[in-house]
Chains A and B, each alone.
Chain A
Amino acid sequence: MALAERRISATEARIAGLELPRGGWTEAARQDALARLRAMGLPERRDEYWRFTRPDTLSQAETPRAALFKPEETEIFSDLDRLKIVFVDGVFDAAQSDDLSLEGVTIERLADASVTDIHWARDLYGTLEARGQVPVQRPFAALNTAFATDGLMIHVIGKPSKPISLVYVHDSETSDAILHHVVKVEPGAEVTLLENGPAAARFNKCMEIDVADGGKLHLIRSQGRDHERRAVTHLFARLGEESVFKAFTLTVNGVLTRNEAFVELTGDDATVHVAGACVGDGDFHHDDTVFITHDAVNCESRQVFKKVLRNGATGVFQGKILVKEGAQKTDGYQISQSLLLDGDSQFLAKPELEIYADDVACSHGSTSGAIDEEALFYLRSRGVPAGAATDLLTLAFLAEAVDEIEDPDLAADIVSRLESWLARRR
């Protein structure tokens, strides 16, 4: 009883300072989400799903301060031809953004969409998030649906000529941003979404994704180098027949990051790849929590997560493949690996398979290891200095995750960020 009461009061304390936006069709969805949140309560340390990651700084009422960080390198994706949309501390900034019109897609702000009576996002906002609350609860996502202050409704009806690039600027040491995006990819449509930047001192982001039959969505994100920033993000995706969703996330620094992905393969022959590369040292805690449900025939899912940790950093991976009855010919692959550059760092992993169909091929593996001394010596014996050789092996370790990025320019941009992270630590 005491426990439940504590959870309730902590949850109420967190939402006391938040205001549920009124008006429009989202209000009902927000009220539902608030009810969901209240029923679940925010996570506590002893919750099984939060065994490896302490949720307290994500749930506490007061925003933990995060110093601003101005990297000397040029911003990632800035050399690309893209449609740039900027949020500063979680608030859309029209002045810094491009015009939102682009052929093949409509983009609106959440508040504007909400007051449009007949709207495509009406069936999706909060709906995919609610589906993702079973069988495991994700209270931060419910909080997000209820209290999101901004976000984009992205409706992809064709094949836009350039990627849509969301840039999250962190400008206040105590900003607490809650963003909620909804993306719908219509049959046969295809788009690339980019996200980058630290966003806020504390960032709660939710993206609901519906990819219709034959649609394709590529999502590449880079989470920003501010050392003290915190983030909890959720992807909720539902995939139709022969659709494709590929997500890659680069995380460099950040004191605490929890990235959750909940993907349902609901149409036959659909494909989902969720990949991540993270590099961190010192006060760095990175958690990838993924749940993929195969609920159709002949679908493919891949989870590829690689973490480079040093100087006391912690990496977490919780990944599950659930193959429902009848989801025959499932091809599920999951790998999570960490490279520990010193003895202080740790990797905690919980890979899971749950299979209720008989004709499936699923594999999963999780490893944790140091630099291969034999390979290091081999490189050095050819004249490559120890530092450069270690970097080369580190990038090689990350390669399987980076290879999940289809676009070579984007992949090159990501690799250059990894290289400079390594170079700064020589």
Chain B
Amino acid sequence: MLEIKNLHVKLEEEDKQILKGVNLSVEAGKVHAIMGPNGSGKSTLSYVLSGRDGYEVTDGSATLDGDDLLALEPEERAAAGLFLAFQYPVEIPGVGNMTFLRTAVNAQRKARGEEEMSAADFLKEVRTRAKALKIDAEMLKRPVNVGFSGGEKKRNEILQMAMLEPKMCILDETDSGLDVDAMKLVSDGVNALRDEGRGFLVITHYQRLLDHIKPDVVHIMADGRIIKTGGPELALEVEQNGYADILSEVQ
């Protein structure tokens, strides 16, 4: 589903290479996890895939079901089924959460040539999805992420994901800032979306999240590359021993 080949990325403004040949392939129906030290390039990878400005792809490719992601505008990537749950969700004063969600859902539908969702259907859908994530009506009315706690922001990301039903979901440290109960809620939310046709790329620092969202494959990223790939046991190894062994192993 998601194919990343030899992806090289530098910063547009500076001469700084961040991704130095990433190879990664996520199949439909699978959950891949990426772990790795701070600053290794995990968020950069997720931003480049979703089309954020400020990066220059110097080599390599990234496709979603064969479509060249890197040639698309961010909104086209979203309409093609890519979703990024941000490590740091953005606050948007003045735009109501509901308006935001409805605009996004209908924009994607329109881009795919589908009919817009009726106001009533939308409301019903949001209420059900929000309830499952313990997001109350008050939070839905407030401006997007404004004044939300860290955990509320992350739950709001999952709500958006649930409403948009993307086929490729990238979660960047969605577990950070979550308390134990919220972690469970969010994981349940993610697990509920797991199915045959959907792929996940879960970026995390902690095994804890992977207890709830069981990955099929675990990758270790360091210094802009995937340096090791394995099964769920790889995450346990990192949890116990840190990255030192793995890093020296590769060198």
Contact = CB atoms under 8 A, between A and B. Distances in A.
Interface string B62-83: 0000000000011101110001
A379 B91 CA distance: 11
A333 interface: no
A396 B75 contact: no
Nearest to A382: B104
A375 B144 CA distance: 10
B73 A378 contact: no
Interface stretch (A34-42, A237-245, A386-394): A386-394
A381 B94 contact: no
B164 A382 contact: yes
Interface in B46-105: 50-53, 73-75, 77-79, 83-84, 86, 89-95, 99-100, 103-105
A381 B84 contact: yes
Given A386-B73, A388-B103, A381 B92 contact: no
B78 A382 contact: yes
B74 A380 contact: yes
B123 interface: no
Contacts, number: 80
A394 to B, nearest CB: 9
A381 B74 contact: yes
17 contacts: A372-B92, A375-B92, A377-B51, A377-B90, A378-B86, A378-B90, A379-B92, A379-B104, A381-B74, A381-B78, A383-B105, A383-B108, A384-B103, A385-B75, A388-B103, A389-B75, A399-B94
Interface of A: 372-375, 377-386, 388-389, 392-393, 395-400
B117 to A, nearest CB: 13
B185 interface: no
B160 interface: yes
Contacts of A397: 94
B92 A396 contact: yes
Nearest 10 CB-CB pairings of A with B: A396-B94, A383-B78, A383-B108, A382-B104, A380-B74, A378-B90, A399-B94, A396-B95, A380-B75, A383-B107
Interface of B: 50-53, 73-75, 77-79, 83-84, 86, 89-95, 99-100, 103-105, 107-108, 111, 143, 160, 164
A380 B73 contact: yes
Contacts of A380: 51, 73-75, 78
B94 A395 contact: yes
A377 to B, nearest CB: 5
Given A377-B52, A377-B53, A392-B103, A383 B164 contact: yes
Given A380-B75, A383-B78, A388-B103, A375 B111 contact: no
